[in-house]
Amino acid sequence: MDEKFKKPYDPAATEPRIYEAWEQSGYFNPDNLPADLLAATEGKAFTIVMPPPNANGNLHAGHALFITLEDILTRYKRMRGYRSLWLPGADHAGFETQVVYEKKLEKEGRSRFGMDPQELYNEILAFTLENKKNMEAQVRSLGASCDWSREKFTLDPDVVEKVQKTFIKMFEDGLVYRGKRTVNWCYKHQTSLSDVETENSEEVTPFYTFRYGPFEIGTVRPETKFGDKYVVMHPDDARYKDWKHGQTLEVEWINGPITATVIKDSAVDMEFGTGVMTITPWHSQIDFEIAQRHSLPMEQIIDWRGKLLPIAQEFAGINIRDARPKIVEKLKEKGLLVSVDENYKNVVKRCYKCQTVIEPQVKDQWFVKMAPLAAMAVTAVNKGDIRFIPDNFEKIFRYWMENAIDWNISRQIVWGISIPAWEKDGEWRASLTSPGEGWVKDEDTFDTWFSSGQWPLLTAGYPNGSDFPTYYPSDVMETGHDLIFKWVPRMVIFGLYLSDQPPFHTVYLHGLVNDAHGKKMSKSKGNVVNPLDLTNKYGTDALRMALVVGNAPGTDLALREDKVKGYKHFANKLWNITRFILENAPVSDATLNETDLALQQEFKELVADVTTDMDEYRMHMAAEKLYQYAWHRLADVILEESKPIFLGTDEAAKASRSAFLHSTLADLLALLHPFMPFVTEEIWSSIPAKKNYLMVTAWPK
């Protein structure tokens, strides 16, 4: 028996050594897997594309969860004889990273505004590459058996070029268009944002009712109302039936009399307020749509920094935050303020990074025409080409695809992939290089989801790389349920659009990792758990088990330190089970007696049960069953019952029990390996059954 079993299992001393050995072995690369292992599937591929972590900081508990789940699937399939590829990556994370970097600049008393764009880009690139190394080291420490030789970065030159070519193809296919439309504008970050980059918050805002000629109109935003010269009501509203569409009238307004025009539009809710509203098309989505329907002119009231433009006359140059009370005061003095409801509940859109109130602004941007693409995605789901785990997420996916709105892919930030579009005299062309003299390049960059949406294709080298189509489509997309409408649909759409097939057949969605009381982790609450602190204290295997057991797909998890501690004890339990067997059971290939055959049968049923769980993505069940068997069946009962046998004189019984224990230990280590790769590999290296690494040993039958 190896002397090491006389001391408790020491994860810290073991894990780096084991990971190094795995990496050296080359088996993370599916092209190097042993032929006898692959024989089981005749070399079929199994591919998971890693959701590329943002290369802008440390890994958090959510990363630890997805790395654990994906590594379990990869290791399981590898042991089942698949050419298992888990392809790692790193995301430049456009806006996210730029926000992180801007905070860093702020701390240094600097600002991105006024910086040379190329200089800023280079600084962020250096920062990102440094973080990327850090991130990769952390992924390794969690035991990820991914193929580093294939690692991709979203700013690799070939990735950038392919992303740009996709845009060009979409431009030629009429799936992207240049549109002057309402966008979500963040004053702090000076960029437009997609709908998924904003959050809604319900807030209590004063609701003002003003006299507008013969009408009363309601608003929460008096500061936008300078240019309001269209008064809108529902065509069926009996109260206003005497007012005709297009009719004009003189009204006294903020800065004097104006000529207003009556517009009838069914977008107006008759039940709300007085049923009459004025519109500010430049700064409201719904007003914009009404204005479009009636071909009304629109004018910008607030500039890109949040200050009132000259149309506001005496208020020009004032920040809208400060302008509101002043304007209300003026309207009140003019006798135009009818009432104020101080308890009005209103939904306000905010920037998901800085919580700045989002301003609708009208801007020329590139939009993806979503309807035809989304229809393809719905068809694929209807045909059963994509399965969701848990399956209720299919409804959410479907809802999102059936209500898809056109996607703004232009960002006014430097940190991203440049949009290959050129403009001359109002005409736009899409091209990698300038179409000729006088063409001006679009300065904007792509929304980061435009590139990450193509990730499964890009990692496989679409359309002509050596891994395409060997490792495309991939098998499982494992990611957080919060990405069900941010990332997953975009991957499905790009996969179908570019390759005519979905990029994966299964979408496995995990929940959030919360704190011990089920509360969302946040820096401001101070309840953030650093996964590496836990692995340093209890070992990586312990953390992995704590993240998996009892964590049903799609549901959130409360991560408690005592749970991690419990599985550290379990790793040690395996250690001591091994010690007992090595000390007491001489190696034997004796035929099993009746008692031991029954034990073997019981174990075989466990193997079958666990295998089914794994095939059905019930990793949480499999892990718990293995834990129960190892501790409360094998250790508590079978080993205890073995003691008198080994102390006795019945040599046949000893031989039989020894044979059973050795084979069961070997198989149990194999079954546990995907969950607890380090301790199982370390034990495996010291038992008689060992041939090659446990990582490339066949899954028990």
Partner RNA sequence: GCGCGCUUAGCUCAGUUGGUAGAGCAUCCCGUUUACACCGGGCAGGUCGGGGGUUCGAGUCCCUCAGCGCGCACCA
Residues 169-228 binding RNA (CB under 7 A) are 195-196, 199-200, 202, 217-221
Q: To the nearest whole angstrom, how small is the minimum distance from the Cβ of residue 85 to RNA?
A: 27
271 binds RNA (CB under 7 A): yes
Residues 590-649 binding RNA (CB under 7 A) are 612-613, 616, 618, 620-621, 624, 628, 631-632, 635-636, 639-640, 643
The first and second tokens of residue 47, run together, are 């591919």
277 binds RNA (CB under 7 A): yes
Q: Phi-psi bin for 536: left (phi > 0), alpha (psi -120 to 50), beta?
A: alpha
536 binds RNA (CB under 7 A): no
Residues 515-534 binding RNA (CB under 7 A) are 516-518, 520
The H or E element containing residue 367 is strand 359-368
Shorter beta-carbon distance to RNA: residue 35 or 347: 347
272 binds RNA (CB under 7 A): yes
Residues 555-594 binding RNA (CB under 7 A) are 555-558, 560, 562-563, 566, 568-569, 571-573, 576-577, 579-580, 583-584
Shorter beta-carbon distance to RNA: residue 409 or 498: 409
Residue with tokens 């989002």: 358
401 binds RNA (CB under 7 A): no
Task: Answer whether 38's CB lies under 8 Å from 448's CB.
Answer: no
State the virtual CA torsion across 358, 364, 365, 371 in degrees, nearest 10.
90
List strands edge to edge, sheet with 276-278: 248-253, 256-264, 230-233, 276-278
State the virtual CA torsion across 287, 293, 294, 295 in degrees, nearest 10.
90
Shorter beta-carbon distance to RNA: residue 199 or 236: 199
427 binds RNA (CB under 7 A): no
Residue with tokens 């070997």: 666
Q: Phi-psi bin for 452: left (phi > 0), alpha (psi -120 to 50), beta?
A: alpha
Site string for RNA, 448-487 (x = CB under 7 A): ----------------------------------x--x--
Q: Which residues pair with 230 in a beta bridge?
A: 261
Q: Give the whole-angstrom CA distance, residue 428 versus residue 178.
A: 8
Q: To the nearest whole angstrom, how small is the minimum distance from the Cβ of residue 635 to RNA?
A: 4
Q: From start to end of 43-190, where are the E strands? A: 45-49, 83-87, 89-90, 152-153, 176-186
Q: To the nearest whole angstrom, how small is the minimum distance from the Cβ of residue 598 to RNA?
A: 19
Q: Give the binding range for RNA (CB under 7 A) out of 88-96, 363-371, 547-555, 593-601.
A: 547-555
The first and second tokens of residue 219, run together, are 């608003």
392 binds RNA (CB under 7 A): yes
The H or E element containing residue 621 is helix 619-628
Size of the site for RNA (CB under 7 A): 81
Q: Which residues pair with 65 in a beta bridge?
A: none
Residue type at position 562: D
Furthest CA-CA distance within the chain = 112
Shorter beta-carbon distance to RNA: residue 332 or 618: 618
Residues 498-517 binding RNA (CB under 7 A) are 514, 516-517
Shorter beta-carbon distance to RNA: residue 40 or 396: 396
Q: Give the binding range for RNA (CB under 7 A) out of 275-283, 365-373, 428-436, 500-508.
A: 275-283
488 binds RNA (CB under 7 A): no
Q: To the nearest whole angstrom, how small is the minimum distance from the Cβ of residue 580 to RNA?
A: 3
Site string for RNA, 290-329 (x = CB under 7 A): ----------------------------------------
List strands edge to edge, sheet with 83-87: 83-87, 45-49, 476-480, 506-510, 387-389
552 binds RNA (CB under 7 A): yes
